[in-house]
Amino acid sequence: MVDWFLSTQERGNPDSSIPTWCTGNTAEPLIHGITYFDRLAEEVDSLREGDHLFFTDWRGDPDERLRDDGPTVASLFAAAAKRGVIVKGLLWRSHLDKLAYSEEENRNLGDAVREAGGEVLLDQRVRRGGSHHQKLVVIRHPGNPDRDVAFVGGIDLCHSRRDGPLHLGDPQAVKMSTKYGKNPPWHDVQLALKGPVVGALDLTFRERWSDPAPLDQHGPISTIMDRLKHADEHADRLPPQPPDPPPCGTLNVQVLRTYPAMRPRYSFAPKGERTIARAYTKAIRKAKHLIYLEDQYLWSTEVAQLFAEALKATPTLHLVAVVPRHPDVDGRMALPPNEIGREQALAVCHLAAPDRVHVFDLENHKGTPVYVHAKVCVIDDIWCSVGSDNFNRRSWTHDSEISCAILDEEGQFARDLRLRLMREHLDREPGDDADLQDPISAVKAMTETADRLRAWSDDGRGSPRPPGRIFPHSPEHLPWHQRLWSLPAYRLFYDPDGRPWRARRRNTF
């Protein structure tokens, strides 16, 4: 495993008690928000007095329905707290307005949970311009550890995420680029994990919760507003951490995080932590045949350079990337910085191996583009990762992130995950993947499907639609006058660098 996973020394953060990796686990990919939300509601409903429900998120909308007929996120978590479940949550402080904090208390996630006896903190222990981007739910049953489960991935507890396999969008939608329509179709992935890794994820939550630094660090105005609104500014003591659940499967899981170098320092990562960046760097350099990824923001040249070096070093290697067709924003000022980063990153990859880089985007059968929010990477059907992190410098150095890298002793998990995702994009039924098993024939199948759909679209879309949902991705090329200002804005604000100065000078993670 040390050939693929980071060693203790390579992790580079001796101040955290996170295990190097965990053996004996199971993991279930929950593809689509509708699948994850249903499973989450089921697990939380099963909690009883004394059980634990811990969660972190970038955004949480209290009125988001987890099923067509509910419950909402707020009512589900509040009901658990009323039953005596120990409910604790950490939400990024900067989305206070997104949580409708000034409206009725039962529409605010923190207030609803606190009224029921739980506790949700608004956490701004980040670099300036940064965010807490981790999407984690940990469910513990002290005395019955076989039932413990944790959820990690790209799906927030908020609007627009509850989409399904047809990608018709969440009825409760966020405002996005008009190109995605009224209810933006949304593609995403979460993992349900069981086994000893749940203990490592529990510890990840506890490290953040118990960090002694003040919750709000960037200005007195927000602190005053929080106090006027009676926000909880101090974390109560957590119950003792239960022993790790017993082994229950064949998966080896390495918990990876990003924390920036900042002041005041994190007590559990005083120099930051960049195990996500380090793990990808190690795994990408080992790739021989196929790197398959799905990502919202493939747009950093530092990340693209890793792919380019691997492609140059290994003539048998192909890169397949599934990305959004358009950024999630419109506007003359917001759009160009979003576009220029991806344009540059893809150009670096194409220059290294123009015939071995294959980039696609998605649309549903109604012709509406699908917003790809997933953060998935599969390398040679051996190593894979699912998490909150994107393939950009911000996710690898600046914000808080969490991901799980997986190696399967039986050699099935990574391949099965890739095949499930490919079958969906190609409109294939389960089991219809004989030509997808081999990386080269899989690339051919995806390319041919995308080219047929592009030709059908260019011909006016008047004939019956060919099967599939993937199109060749064509990044926008900005004129020089937009590049002049959008590139510095992109590097400074959209994709900032959270590394210590020594790592920046050496360009290492």
Rounded-to-integer distance, Cα 380 and Cα 383, Å: 7
Peptide bond preceding 71: is omega within 30 degrees of 0, i.e. cis? yes
**Tokens linked to 74:** 């707020």
Q: Tell me if 278 sits within 8 A of 41, measured CB to CB.
A: no
Please list, in sequence order, all residues whose beta carbon lies within 8 angstroms of the beta carbon of residue 217, skipping any fewer than 6 positions away: 124, 125, 126, 264
- Averaged pLDDT for residues 455-483: 92
Give the model's pLDDT for residue 490.
86
Q: Tell me if 425 sits within 8 A of 322, measured CB to CB.
A: yes
Phi, psi of 80 (to 5 degrees): -65, -45
Q: Show the beta-strand stretches assigned E in 134-285.
A: 136-140, 149-153, 186-187, 189-194, 251-259, 273-274
Rounded-to-integer distance, Cα 442 and Cα 319, Å: 12
Q: Where do we find the tokens 């955004």?
A: 59
Start-to-end Cα distance in the chain: 21
The three-class DSSP label of residue 154 is coil
**Tokens linked to 150:** 């944790």
Q: Tell me if 365 sits within 8 A of 166, measured CB to CB.
A: yes
Of 116, 118, 117, 82, nearest to 209 by C-alpha is 118
Q: Tell me if 105 sits within 8 A of 207, measured CB to CB.
A: no
- Averaged pLDDT for residues 126-144: 95
Q: Tell me if 378 sits within 8 A of 371, measured CB to CB.
A: no
Which of 240 and 475 is assigned the larger pLDDT?
240
Instruction: Evaluate if residue 435 carries a pLDDT over 60.
Output: yes
Which of 411 and 319 is assigned the larger pLDDT?
319
95 — pLDDT class (breaks 50, 70, 90): very low
Share of the chain above pLDDT 70, in %: 94
The three-class DSSP label of residue 257 is strand
- Averaged pLDDT for residues 212-219: 80
Strand pairing category for 369-372 and 376-379: unpaired
Of 46, 26, 324, nearest to 180 by C-alpha is 324
2 — pLDDT class (breaks 50, 70, 90): confident
Of 337, 334, 338, nearest to 325 by C-alpha is 338
The three-class DSSP label of residue 376 is strand
Task: Quick: pLDDT tens for 347-379.
Answer: 999 999 999 999 999 999 999 999 999 999 999
Instruction: Evaluate if residue 132 carries a pLDDT over 90.
Output: yes
Instruction: Evaluate if residue 32 carries a pLDDT over 90.
Output: yes
Give the model's pLDDT for residue 498.
94
Domains in the chain, CATH or no CATH each: 8-251 (3.30.870.10)
Strand pairing category for 251-259 and 189-194: unpaired
- Residue 198, Cα to own-chain centre: how many angstroms? 18
Please list, in sequence order, all residues whose beta carbon lies within 8 angstroms of the beta carbon of residue 200, skipping any fewer than 6 positions away: 18, 19, 22, 244, 253, 255
Burial (Cβ within 10 Å: 0-12, 13-18, ≥19) of residue 330: middle
Q: Tell me if 121 sits within 8 A of 91, measured CB to CB.
A: yes
Check the CA dihedral 9-193-234-61 and report its sign.
Answer: positive
Of 366, 423, 453, nearest to 180 by C-alpha is 366
Cross-strand pairs, 91: 57, 122
Q: Where do we find the tokens 């059908």?
A: 456
**Tokens linked to 124:** 């701004």
Task: Quick: pLDDT tens for 152-174.
Answer: 999 999 999 999 999 999 999 99
The three-class DSSP label of residue 317 is coil
Peptide bond preceding 354: is omega within 30 degrees of 0, i.e. cis? no
- Averaged pLDDT for residues 39-60: 97
Give the model's pLDDT for residue 411.
83
- Averaged pLDDT for residues 95-114: 54
Task: Quick: pLDDT tens for 312-352.
Answer: 999 999 999 999 999 998 777 777 888 888 888 999 999 99
Instruction: Evaluate if residue 231 carries a pLDDT over 80.
Output: no
Give the model's pLDDT for residue 96.
46
Q: Mind giving me the DSSP string for 452-500?
A: HHHHHHHTTS-SPPPS--EEE-------HHHHHHHHHHIIIIIS---S-
99 — pLDDT class (breaks 50, 70, 90): very low
Rounded-to-integer distance, Cα 37 and Cα 25, Å: 22
